[in-house]
Amino acid sequence: MSAILGPNIGGGRRFRYGFPSRSSSTSSSPSTSTVGRSDPPAPFTRRGRTSQTMEGQAKRLRKLQQLAPQTIVDDFWTKFTTKAPGKATTVLPQDQHADTTPSKTTQDSYDEAAVVCRAKVVQIIKECRRVNKKYRDPHFDLESDLKLGRRDCLQSLPNVKGVKAPPGGGFNPRSAKRVTEIFDKPQFYIDGPTANDVRQGRDGDCWLMSALCTLSNKPGLIERLCVAHDQDVGVYGFVFHRDGEWISEIVDDFLYLTKPDYDESYTDRVLFDELERVNPEEAYRRIYQANSGALYFAQCEHPQETWLPLLEKCYAKAHGDYAAIEGGFGGEGIEDLTGGVTSEIFTTDILDKEYFWNEELLKVNQDFLFGCSTGVWGSSSWGERKGIVELHSYSVQRAVEIDGKRLVRLKNPWGKGEWKGAWSDGSKEWTPEWLEKLDHRFGDDGDFWISYDDLLRKYQAFERTRLFDSDWSVAQIWTTLTVPWMLDYHTTYFSLSLSKPGPVVIVFSQLDERYFRGLEGQYHFQLALRLHKKGKEDYLVRSQAPYRMRRSVNVELELEAGEYDVRVKVDACRWEDIIPTEQVIRNSAKLRREKLTRIGLAYDLAHGKGKVVETAEEKAAREAHDKKHEAKRRQEILKRIEADREEQHYLQRKAMQRTKDKERKERAKNKAKMAAMQARKRAIKSGVADQRGSVSTTGQSDVVVVAGERGNASEVETEKNEAPSHEEAAKEDTQARNATASAPQGEDAAVHGVEEQLRDGHDETFCESGSESGSNVSDELSELSERELDIQVEIQLGQLKRMAAASAASAPTAEEQPDEFERDPWNAVAVAGLRVYHRVGEGGDADVVRLKVVRPNPYADADDEAKTDSAEGKTRELDVDDSAKDATLVGGVTERRNSIVGNDRPVF
């Protein structure tokens, strides 16, 4: 039995602290096992912290308490989401395959994959026959992987916190042998593949077995999976549908066995040796290692038939290992094996049960394939409902209405365990006539009948898969979406152009993470879509909310030719118990290099689909934005340079003005002194004796003042403080009398000396002022040349870059330490694609559907964004059943009605 439950439906939608439980099953009992793990604290609950951390938190809290509540909320959301959204798109170093692999169209995808697969098989057969060796798959070698203990073919990469055992750790096959060593007379098909051939093994892939049971009801579906094989060489080629296109896969003929080889079995070997048989080893082989019953995983009911275990092995190799195919949904298995589209239908949601019976169930194995299950909301304490196992997939084989009785035949992929109610084997409803009408035989083979009413009562969900034949054309396109925490229709959407009317199936899907199990990361996504006529607010149809199957959503309807918008919504959930992809790579790089290489390559090829290729319009917009941004930044720097120059020029002018004022005061002071000297000179010339001494004294004093102002202050103080002796005074007096006639010239000379000193000082000051005035900044600011401005701009840009680098390299302080949201912000990125099927009929034009990804212009200005929002924002309006829908409606009653139902649709 395997899990059919998706993410925990009852848990929170945005963050989850557990992970979806997966059930493992055996062929004998419907036991359900959940991966054990410790219960770490929730990321948003209180955690143990050191005193130092608590002190930092307290400081941050005090700081936040000083802010307004709205500011605190805005600050929280600013830190909550990463400022650099994105995800690792390549795991392997220098992976050239992901970059060089061309994108394929899906129109002839199966034919192309089949041709490639046949070519591979032919090449391997040719190579093996040349060297006379059977084929051994070096990439999925069961024997060496088991004997050497690598277990890469059994186990996935571990990615659950606190759980050391990787997925698949419970698998315990004891040996691996070739088909020709196991089977006495192996045959790939015996009377074709049928539902009765299917027997589930020890892998929890009942969903895949159920899908194969369902496919067996329509001839040719299983046969087209194995396109080529050679039993003698031991090579088999299969094709599977993955992410909208068919792929080919090759395997050898080694299969796992339940029992070890005779030489490696101690207890059983001793037992057989004691029996003293002629050939105890052969007896051991025939009992424990012969035919279908010896296989560890899936097996056919016929002991010599081999198609089922080989198909299961190839499917496991395509996904990486046997553990990767544990747990799933039968509808997704049918999609992988047919390329169809599966819809999930809950029995409580069926509006018209008559229509469902007549138009859908009765067409099983024609246009649709059906599976069913119960216990989808969680298993009960009983684990079964009158023989119907919960959390288990069943296939719908037939639906008939005979003599007013509506009956449905179901198949349990275990090959045993049946319904125990009305119309079960041995019930009173069976008569010889009914046994003949329905061609039924009693037996515990997992094949049973149930009435339509009991089917709806006991089973909770149907998985309906629509099949496509050559009348349908297909187009698809992929992109990468950054998923915000706030759930809303994405700003990126798909444009659909339809040139002819007709039935259309629109599928919005994400990558199948089963192919790179272990590297899927912490974020899991649920999808939704809504179809609008181009530019219209009211939508034509929307997808059903995915409660279990989250790989894709779809809608079916008749469309007229025209232009349409497909709006998409992606709901991201974060599983805190899952290790991030980058950490899984670090953990596995040393010890599991080969495994990481294989799974990493699958990861790279898958994410290469969503590589965003810049269109010519986007390139032109980016270049125009970069040019505009660069010009704006240069303009800002130029303004800053001019402002700095103006400020500097202003300061220089003020400094020069102060210097000039000081010089003017000095000149005025010197002029006053000159005037005083002239007055004294005239007094001396008048010959007044009593004024001569005064003039002399005044002259000395003036000399001292001038000298003090101009220079050697120590000499002036010496002359002032040294009083002349009597002898020197008498001598000077005598000399003065002897030169009476020349006395006026002497006094005049003394005064003249003072004048010269003042004049020299004035001239010197004037010259100094004149020299400074000569280098003075002009009143008008000089203009810089273009070259000078460019140099200044480059200097400024260099400084900004160095400052930014230094700021990024500097460690934050204790108060600036990031909180838990800044350390691990929200960073959800999904690779998603739109696939559109259109019925064109025979000979019709296949190229009737054109798809385009419409991304918002990240380089648009605010005005351009406002125009875009007004033109395209209508198709992003809330759903009609959203509680806030009424608040978003504008206009009068007519306008509000038209925004819901449109202008051309009547209101009932």
Active site residue 172: no
Closest CA to 184 of 76, 290, 327, 49: 290
Query: Which of these, 417, 426, 229, lies nearest to 314 by C-alpha position?
Result: 229
| 210 within 8 A of 290, measured Cβ to Cβ | no
Q: Which of 153, 206, 213, 300 is catalytic?
A: 206
- Which position among 412, 670, 827, 898 bears the catalytic label? 412
The answer to whether residues 506 and 529 touch, using CB atoms and an 8 Å cutoff, is yes
DSSP one-letter string for 639-657: HHHHHHHHHHHHHHHHHHH
Report how far residue 331's alpha carbon sits from residue 396's, in angstroms, rounded to the nearest whole number: 12
Catalytic residue among 229, 241, 392, 524: 392
Alpha-carbon distance of 444 to 415, in angstroms, equals 8
Which residues does 471 contact at the CB level (< 8 Å), separation at least 6?
839, 840, 841, 842, 844
How would you classify the pairing of strands 502-510 and 552-559? antiparallel
**Taking Cα atoms as reference points, which of 641, 626, 612 lies closest to residue 855?**
612
What number of CA atoms fall less than 13 Å from residue 54's CA on the CB side?
6
Q: How far does Cα 808 stand from its chain's mean position? A: 24
Active-site residue flag, 226: no
Q: Are 673 and 709 in contact (CB under 8 A)?
A: no
Side chain identity at 48, as an amino acid letter?
Answer: G
Name the residue type at position 511.
L
Half-sphere exposure of 144 (CA within 13 A, CB side): 7
Question: What span, in angstroms and rounded, lies between the C-alpha atoms of 82 and 245?
Answer: 34
CB contact at 8 A, 132 and 8: no
Q: Is 587 a catalytic residue?
A: no
Would strands 562-575 and 15-16 be described as parallel, antiparallel, or unpaired? parallel
Comparing CA positions, the residue from 707, 680, 679 lying closest to residue 694 is 680
Helix, strand, or coil here: 671? helix
**Which of 106, 331, 377, 129 shows the shortest CA–CA distance to 230?**
129
Cα–Cα distance measured from residue 298 to residue 318, given in angstroms and rounded to the nearest whole number: 16
Residues serving a catalytic function are: 206, 392, 412
